[in-house]
Amino acid sequence: MDRSGQCLCGAVTFRLTAEPVATRVCWCRDCQRIAANGTVNMVVAADALEVSGETRLYQSVADSGNQMSRYFCPQCGTHLFAGSAARPQFRVVRVGTLDDASGIAPNANIWTDSAPAWACMDPALDSFPTQPAAPKPQVQSS
């Protein structure tokens, strides 16, 4: 499995060497500020993300109380990745930055208590009012 992606201007590219352990629509206020909506994010093993190009870092404390690191392209401003100090084994990758996102589908809505009244959520997906437990890393079979 190999997936690739990039920022809007192409100055930052990346490659994923493993499948996501979760794909979620996040309705936290930070994600709403980034996208003016919920954002679709893949949770991937940190060591499965290979990045080429310079990124800029913005750190803040999320509603969960966790220290978050968010990575952007310094040229075009595209938000590409995030990481939590509480879960350093994972990275969050914005699905919209993939070159081909057709094989990715969310399996949950998270931070639904923060969603606006007009939010369109698929009732077939799992739903969490705040931050769910950390996903379990997938075991690679040999």
The percentage of the chain sitting over the pLDDT mark of 70, rounded to a whole number, equals: 94
Per-residue pLDDT band for 98 (boundaries 50, 70, 90) equals very high
Contacts 24+ apart (CB under 8 A), 134-138: 134/87, 134/90, 135/21, 135/22, 135/43, 135/90, 136/21, 137/21, 137/45, 137/89, 138/18, 138/19, 138/21
The per-residue pLDDT of the chain, averaged, comes to 90
Report the C-alpha gap between 140 and 17 in whole angstroms: 12
Asked whether 59 and 49 are in contact (CB, 8 A), the reply is no
Q: For the segment 19-64, what is each residue's pLDDT rounded down to a tens digit?
A: 999 999 999 888 899 888 899 999 999 999 999 999 999 998 877 7
Quick one: pLDDT at residue 137?
A: 59
What's the whole-model pTM score? 0.84
Asked whether 83 and 93 are in contact (CB, 8 A), the reply is no
Q: Is the pLDDT of residue 101 over 80?
A: yes
Per-residue pLDDT band for 65 (boundaries 50, 70, 90) equals confident
